[in-house]
Amino acid sequence: RGALGSLGKSRAKFISAEETTGVTFDDFAGQEYIKRELQEIVRILQNDEAFQDKGIYCPKGVLLHGPPGTGKTLLAKAIAGEAGLPFFAANGTDFVEMFVGVAAARVKDLFSSARSYAPSIIFIDEIDAIGSKRGGPDIGGGGAEREQGLLQILTEMDGFKVSTAQVLVIGATNRLDILDPALLRKGRFDKIIRVGLPSKDGRLAILKVHARNKFFRSEEEKDNLLQEIAELAVDFTGAELQNILNEAGILTARKDLDYIGREELLEALKRQKGTFATGQEDSTEIPEELKLRLAYREAAVAVLACYYPNPHRPFTETDIRSIRSQPNMCYAEISGKVYSRKSDYVESIVRACAPRVIEEEMFGVDNLCWISAKATLEASRHAEFLILQTGMTAFGKAYYRNQSDLVPHLAVKLEALRDEYMRFAVEKCSSVLNEYHSAVETITDVLLEDGEIKAEEIWDIYRRAPRLPQPTVQPVDEYGALIYAGRWGIHGVSLPGRVTFAPGNVGFAT
Ligand code: ADP
């Protein structure tokens, strides 16, 4: 373990090298299928004869993609650790310098170091910094430099022969969509693995890994507490879960206690949540006007969540104690098989509009602020996903990875249809908020008064609120019928002329 002895000194600063990482697959919890897949690669790297005989060779490149903190680096180190191979790591951002030729030279340096220790592992974190699409918008400058670096990676990967004594290149990114397609071709990063946010069971498993070296009153208490935290920590990454336990350990020590208890864990969870925020966790520090905006935002999100309840993610509570660019509403997860119908996608677009629509309505179009800005982005993303990747709209039944896959006339069509959906979503959202305006006001009052509100109370207010009838919102062109049919849960029936529903399935136009 540690830096590679003799080469350690001459090695360029941007490469970190370890003889072996000492990390194993046991250190990574949740998402078992990822481990199974990578285990196979480790066996090939170890020259397992069962594979050699069948002529199975190791992929040259593995690309791990997913949000930061989900364990991509950990997995790369575990592959090296399990196979007992040297590990050479660099960060994509380190390649790009303002000096001409540096990027390509650094890539060369990295590969030649790794090759002299082959078989070995190269890990390039944030590979998108150097491997983004050529000819795309030049974010952050250094475009030509980056292109040289990218070309060098391609050359290096094409250069080495597929053999048993090889170098495996592992890349990590959270922006798969901006990677140059050339990187993803066969013989380069031809194995792409998504590392996503852990499920509830996954979170529990991760917490257990990081609780190994912590003290609890008893095994039973430990299990119960971790179970509770796993349930509460919806959408937390592995890194954040690890932080909760570390923080709880620190709080315990500060109080001079022997064991981590419920109070410390909940406090740590709260603090971890707060790191998403601007640091102003205490509602007394949030300026009054911002508090009012937050309260309206959460109330609008709550009303839409009642109007279009998401069966897969019932909401649990919300508060106005932290300022985030996304709603504070918390959701529970329901395990079991999940499938989404077209109506579910459309409803998610409508729900996502709530922060922006209410802010505009209450504070005026010239007086918007950033706490609703993300909502617009999210709504358009949902719409684009529905149009490009589900084959459920008038756009057609083909699948497109993203907008850059489109030829110009399709890009125009996408924009037109997305605008249609956005128009519908904004109008529908605004109509729901008007209809339930009194519920919005009541929930806002509770939030301003108590700082928080639970699902039960939200439902109660929603059900009892007087409603103001609204005119019908014009649905999205011919496909609008689906939206309403889906909402009423009609399955297995044919609507006159155009739409059919398979039981429990999505509808397609006929
Ligand atoms: P990424 O490379 O995806 O940004 P990291 O691998 O750097 O994430 O994760 C940071 C730390 O978080 C890891 O070193 C590990 O301690 C913890 N962690 C993240 N995901 C997991 C997981 N699935 N199981 C166990 N620990 C995890």
Burial class (CB in 10 A: 0-12, 13-18, 19+), 451: middle
- Name the residue with higher pLDDT: 331 or 64: 64
d(CA 439, ligand 1 centre) in Å: 42
pLDDT, greater one: 344 or 205: 205
Residue with the nearest Cα to atom 14 of ligand 1?
Answer: 74
d(CA 431, CA 197): 34
CA angle 104, 107, 110 (to 5 degrees): 150
371 C-beta neighbours (distance < 10 Å), count:
20
Does pLDDT of 166 surpass 90? Answer: no
Q: How confident is the model at residue 394 (pLDDT cuts 50, 70, 90)?
A: confident
pLDDT at 305 over 50: yes
For the CA of 64, the nearest atom of ligand 1: 3
Task: Single out the catalytic residue among 147, 298, 347, 384.
Answer: 298
Q: Ligand 1: distance of its center to the CA of 238 in Å?
A: 5
Comparing 10-14, 22-26, 49-53, 293-297, which segment has the lowest mean pLDDT? Answer: 10-14
Residue 25 Cβ inside 6 Å of ligand 1? The answer reads no
Which tens digits make up the pLDDT trace of 477-490?
544 444 443 333 33
Atom 12 (ligand 1): residue with closest C-alpha?
239
Q: How far apart are the first and last CA of the chain?
A: 63
Which of 70, 210, 236, 247 most suits a substitution to test ligand 1, by most atoms within 8 Å of the C-beta?
70
- Confidence class for position 142, pLDDT limits 50, 70, 90: low
pLDDT of residue 484: 41
- pLDDT above 60 for 382: yes
Query: How high is the pLDDT of residue 136?
Result: 55
Q: Pick the residue with more confidence: 294 or 94?
A: 294
Atom of ligand 1 nearest to the CA of 68: 4
Task: Determine whether the shortest distance from the Cβ of 507 to ligand 1 is under 6 A.
Answer: no
Q: Is 103 in the pocket of ligand 1 (CB under 6 A)?
A: no
Kindly report which listed range (64-78, 149-163, 409-423) carries the lowest average pLDDT score.
Answer: 149-163
What pLDDT digit, counting tens, does each position of 438-454 carry?
A: 999 999 999 999 999 99
- pLDDT above 90 (res 49): no
Average pLDDT estimate for 391-411: 79
For helices 262-274 and 219-232, give the axis angle rounded to 10 degrees.
Answer: 30
Give me the chain's average pLDDT, please. Answer: 82
pLDDT of 97:
66
**pLDDT level of residue 414 (50, 70, 90 thresholds):** confident
- Indicate the helix (H) or strand (E) that contains 357: helix 354-363
Q: Is 28 in the pocket of ligand 1 (CB under 6 A)?
A: yes
Residue 241 has pLDDT above 70, yes or no: yes
Q: What is the structure's pLDDT at 264?
A: 93
Amino acid at position 142, single letter: G
Name which of 109-118, 174-183, 283-292, 410-419 the model is least confident about: 283-292
Q: Is the peptide bond before 137 cis (omega within 30 degrees of 0)?
A: no
Higher pLDDT, 410 or 267: 267
Q: How many angstroms is it from 157 CA to the middle of ligand 1?
A: 27
The whole-number pLDDT of residue 234 equals 87
Question: Among 267-276, 321-330, 353-362, 470-479, which range has the highest average pLDDT?
Answer: 353-362
Residue 29 Cβ < 6 Å to ligand 1: yes
CB 499 within 8 A of CB 506: no
Contact 124, 169 (CB under 8 A): yes
Q: Give the nearest ligand 1 atom to 125 CA.
A: 2
Q: Please name every residue paired with 258 in a beta bridge, in sequence order, or none if there are none.
A: none
Rounded CA-CA distance 446/259 in Å is 37
Q: Does position 257 have pLDDT exceeding 50, yes or no?
A: yes
Q: Is residue 338 over pLDDT 70?
A: no
Whether 141 shows a pLDDT value over 90: the answer reads: no
pLDDT surpasses 90 at 377: no
| Lowest mean pLDDT, pick from 234-238, 264-268, 472-476 | 472-476
What mean pLDDT do residues 115-126 have?
Answer: 91
Ligand 1 lined by 65 (C-beta under 6 Å): no
Cβ-contact 258, 215 below 8 angstroms: yes
* Alpha helices per DSSP H over 174-215: 200-211
Pick the atom of ligand 1 nearest to 29's CA.
24
Question: Which whole-number Å values give the CA distances from 453 to 39, 250, 311, 450, 479, in the listed order?
Answer: 46, 30, 20, 7, 37
Q: Ligand 1 centre and the CA of 353: distance in Å?
A: 33
pLDDT at 322 over 90: no
Ligand 1 pocket member 173 (CB < 6 A)? no
Give 188's DSSP letter: S
The pTM for the full model equals 0.58
Please report which confidence band the pLDDT of residue 307 belongs to, taking 50, 70 and 90 as the band edges: very high
Cβ of 74 closer than 6 Å to ligand 1, yes or no, is: yes
Return d(Cα 368, Cα 353) in angstroms, integer.
14
Are the CB atoms for 237 and 66 separated by under 8 Å?
no
Phi, psi angle pair for 120, to nearest 5°: -155, 175
**Whether residue 510 has pLDDT greater than 90:** no
Taking the C-alpha atoms of residue 170 and residue 191, their distance in angstroms, rounded to an integer, is: 10
Whether the CB of 142 sits within 6 Å of ligand 1: no
Percent of the chain with pLDDT over 70: 82
Residue 162 — pLDDT band, cuts 50, 70, 90?
low
Residue 298 a catalytic site member: yes
Give me the count of residues in the chain. 510
Q: Are 241 and 207 in contact (CB under 8 A)?
A: yes
Percent of the chain residues topping a pLDDT of 90: 41
